């Protein structure tokens, strides 16, 4: 399986690309600019000369042509970016990891987009895709530290059970990450908004928190 990331030149996309490649998945780093994507891929590969990472670069359309697609853009442009490559996304699992947040006077605050979540807005513009919301709470720094385990639960929600199943199998491949089926896409509202709480905790306690739920057997 080849996975394409849209807007993967930012911290979240770069980290996700690295982490997936580290577990043997073929990855395409996508960008509005193929040149920028190529620079990012060169940097990622240079940083890990000892690893055999299958990461190549392309524009967002090339990334969207992959078997599974991850959107790693800022929340307000995620639906627009998805719509520009909509022709590639039909009947594919599309993961949206964008959080709608604002930083106001040093405080993280959740924003609620019109359909309740970024993921629901993406699903609306690509109705033939199987959109799943996932990976919102794993900080890019931990994700990019591929020599260490991630140590986090990953909440996944979608209106398509097959998408939850597919993304769960993917998350299971990441050492230390545990996928949890969090239900339908309506729950993305809470999942995305909760990121503001985690970031606030990081600020307050000078750390990087991760989410672990008790009471669920592995």
Ligand X SMILES: NC(=O)c1ccc[n+]([C@@H]2O[C@H](COP(=O)([O-])OP(=O)(O)OC[C@H]3O[C@@H](n4cnc5c(N)ncnc54)[C@H](OP(=O)(O)O)[C@@H]3O)[C@@H](O)[C@H]2O)c1
Sites of contact with ligand X (CB under 6 A) = 7, 9-13, 31-33, 36, 72-75, 77, 81, 97-99, 135-136, 138-140
Closest distance of CB 7 from ligand X, Å: 3
Cα four-point dihedral sign 18, 19, 21, 26: negative
Nearer to ligand X, 10 or 175 (CB): 10
Nearest Cα neighbor of 23 from 136, 140, 129, 143 is 143
Nearer to ligand X, 84 or 215 (CB): 84
Nearer to ligand X, 57 or 166 (CB): 57
Q: β-pairing, 26-29 with 107-110?
A: unpaired
Nearer to ligand X, 136 or 178 (CB): 136
Closest distance of CB 99 from ligand X, Å: 3
Are 15 and 135 in contact by the 8 Å Cβ rule? The answer is: no
Closest distance of CB 38 from ligand X, Å: 11
Closest distance of CB 40 from ligand X, Å: 8
Closest distance of CB 123 from ligand X, Å: 16
Nearer to ligand X, 42 or 215 (CB): 42
For tokens 């690509």, name the residue: 126
Closest distance of CB 217 from ligand X, Å: 27
- Exposure class string for 80-107: b at 16+ Cβ within 10 A, else e: ebbebbeebbeebbbbbbbbbbeeeeee
Six-digit token pair at 177? 């990450």
DSSP state of 124: H
Residue 126: alpha-carbon gap to chain centroid: 17
Nearer to ligand X, 96 or 164 (CB): 96
């Amino acid at each position: 399986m080849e996975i394409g990331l849209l807007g993967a030149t930012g911290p979240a996309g770069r980290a996700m690309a690295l982490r997936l490649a580290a577990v043997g998945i073929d990855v395409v780093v996508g960008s509005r600019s193929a040149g920028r994507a190529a620079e990012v891929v060169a940097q990622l590969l240079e940083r890990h000369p000892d690893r055999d990472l299958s990461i190549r670069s392309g524009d967002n359309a090339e990334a969207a042509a992959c078997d599974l697609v991850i959107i790693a853009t800022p929340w307000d442009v995620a639906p627009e970016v998805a719509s520009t490559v909509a022709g590639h996304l039909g009947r594919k699992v599309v993961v949206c990891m964008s959080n709608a947040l604002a930083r106001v006077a040093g405080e993280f605050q959740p924003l609620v987009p019109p359909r309740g979540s970024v993921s629901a807005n993406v699903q609306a513009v690509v109705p033939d895709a199987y959109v799943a919301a996932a990976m919102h709470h794993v900080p890019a720094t931990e994700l990019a530290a591929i020599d260490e385990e991630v140590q986090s639960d990953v909440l996944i929600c979608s209106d398509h059970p097959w998408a939850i199943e597919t993304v769960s199998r993917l998350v299971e491949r990441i050492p230390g990450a545990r996928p949890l089926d969090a239900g339908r896409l309506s729950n993305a509202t809470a999942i995305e908004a909760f990121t503001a709480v985690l970031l606030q905790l990081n600020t307050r306690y000078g750390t990087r928190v991760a989410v672990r739920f008790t009471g669920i057997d592995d």
